[in-house]
Amino acid sequence: MAFMHLHHRLPSPSLSFPGASPPVYRSSIFASSRFSPPSVSFPSHKLTDFTNCLLHLPPKSLSFALSWTLALGVALSGVGFADAKVGVNKPELLPKEFTSVIDVAGFLSDGQEFRLKQEIADIEKDTGYKLRVLAQNFPVTPGLAIKDFWQVDDKTIVFVADPTFGNILNFNVGASVDLDIPRSFWSRLAGKYGNIFYWKEKGEEASIEAAVMAISNCLREPVGPNNCSEIK
What is the C-alpha separation between 167 and 157, in angstroms, rounded?
18
Which region among 42-46, 62-66, 85-89, 112-116 has the lowest average model confidence (pLDDT)? 62-66
Give percent above pLDDT 70 in the chain. 62
Contact between 170 and 76 under an 8 Å Cβ cutoff? The reply is yes
Answer whether residue 5 is part of any domain: no
Answer whether residue 7 is part of any domain: no
pLDDT band at 87 (very low <50, low <70, confident <90, very high): low
What's the distance, CA 49 to chain centroid? 25
202 sits in which H/E element = helix 196-202
Comparison of pLDDT for 200 and 27, the residue scoring more: 200
- Residue 218 reports pLDDT greater than 60: yes
pLDDT band at 53 (very low <50, low <70, confident <90, very high): very low
Contact between 23 and 5 under an 8 Å Cβ cutoff? The reply is yes
Mind giving me the DSSP string for 96-145? Answer: SS--SEEESS--S-HHHHHHHHHHHHHHHHHHS-EEEEEE-BTTB--BTH
Contact between 9 and 154 under an 8 Å Cβ cutoff? The reply is no
State in Å, rounded, how far the first CA of the chain is from the last one.
23
Answer whether residue 209 is part of any domain: yes
Name every residue whose Cβ is closer than 8 Å to that of residue 137 and which is 6 or more positions away in sequence: 104, 105, 162, 163, 164
- Indicate the SS3 state at residue 65: helix
Answer whether residue 35 is part of any domain: yes
Tell me: the pLDDT tens digits for 115-163?
999 999 999 999 999 999 999 998 899 999 999 999 999 999 999 999 9
Tell me: the pLDDT tens digits for 163-190?
998 999 999 999 999 999 999 999 999 9
Mind giving me the DSSP string for 148-187? Answer: HHHT--TTEEEEEE-GGGS--EEEEEBHHHHHHS-HHHHH
What is the C-alpha separation between 192 and 109, in angstroms, rounded?
23
Answer whether residue 137 is part of any domain: yes
Contact between 69 and 86 under an 8 Å Cβ cutoff? The reply is yes
Indicate the number of domains in the chain: 1
Answer whether residue 156 is part of any domain: yes
Answer whether residue 140 is part of any domain: yes
Q: How far is CA 179 from CA 51, 54, 81, 103, in A?
A: 31, 27, 30, 29
Comparison of pLDDT for 84 and 232, the residue scoring more: 232
Average pLDDT over the chain reads 74
Answer whether residue 59 is part of any domain: yes
Q: What is the CATH number of the domain that holds 172?
A: 3.10.310.50
Full-model pTM? 0.69
Domain that holds residue 114: 25-220
DSSP state of 137: B
Contact between 113 and 104 under an 8 Å Cβ cutoff? The reply is no
- Once rounded to an integer, what is the mean pLDDT over residues 42-52? 42
